[in-house]
Amino acid sequence: MAKKQSGKMFESKFNEELLTQLIEEGKSADEIQDALGIVSKQSLRQHVLKWMNIHRTFVDVPGLYTRNSPTPQISFKKELRLSKNMLAPGKFKHGDKFEIEEMTNARIVLARIGAEVSVEDSSEEVEADPEAEFDLG
């Protein structure tokens, strides 16, 4: 399927046979992306939706609708967001406040404001580490 786009030809990478094989093998979204040469998850979602429409079958591709960036990134709004999975090793809770202790080109060190913060873990109380380092480089 070729589309004309401002004088250039855009070739779709939809490959029904290969996509069928990968889905039947239970491959993850990342593995299917690599095999098909698709760059974005959104494009893969479109391919899977087209496949489901053709086959009139629902499939659940692992990792297709989850956002799992392994490293923190700065958003277009110039915000740094850390997921709860990235903070799992530390004892942090909603509402904890931090200040930037050190910032270089390759490293940001955050210090929790208020060193005596504790979190209840099961039935015992665990002291939280007041300084948490996140290496971004």
Q: Name the residue range of residue 35's domain.
A: 2-55
Q: Could you tell me the two tokens for 12?
A: 């779709």
Does the CA dihedral 33-39-40-46 come out positive or negative?
negative
Number of domains in the chain: 2
Same-domain status, 107 and 48: no
| In-domain check, residue 61 | no
The length of the chain, given as a count of residues: 137
Asked, for residue 64, whether it belongs to a domain, the answer is: no
Q: Are residues 25 and 73 in the same domain?
A: no
Indicate whether 95 belongs to any domain.
Answer: yes
Report long-range pairs for 77-81 (Cβ below 8 Å, ≥24 apart).
80/108
Low-confidence stretches of the chain (pLDDT < 70) are 1-12, 67-70, 89, 115-137
Do 76 and 125 fall within a single domain?
A: yes
Q: 19 lies in a domain? A: yes
At residue 41, what are phi and psi to the nearest 5 degrees?
-65, -35
Give me the residue label for tokens 């070729």: 2
Q: What is the pLDDT of residues 60-78, one digit of tens each?
A: 999 888 766 667 777 778 8
